[in-house]
Amino acid sequence: MSQVFSEETHRNLLSRIPHCTGREVSDWLRTVDEGPALFRFEEKVSWLRGEHNLAYGHAKAIVHEYDLRRAARKF
């Protein structure tokens, strides 16, 4: 999993996603979950950008949050 953003930047990006995209973060997480079975972080980011026309930072924040929540469910 690739993370270049600080935790603060990640949270700031997540908080702006609903305003910038018109959809809640939970909707985007569901979209990633129901999307194609891509394994690599950057593949998921590229898919969100291409399929849903998201900015790179927003797509990366969504995939990172998805991975964090998925990892938390395994414990």
Q: For 9-46, write each residue's pLDDT tens digit.
A: 999 999 999 999 999 999 999 999 999 999 999 999 99
Distance CA 4, CA 52 (A): 22
Q: In the prediction, which pLDDT does 1 show? A: 47
Q: What is the pTM of this model?
A: 0.89
The owner of tokens 């930047």 is: 9
Q: CA dihedral in degrees (52, 56, 62, 67; nearest 10)? A: 120
Above 70 in pLDDT, residue 75? no
Handedness of CA 33, 24, 72, 41 (dihedral sign): positive
Distance CA 75, CA 59 (A): 25
Above 80 in pLDDT, residue 3? no
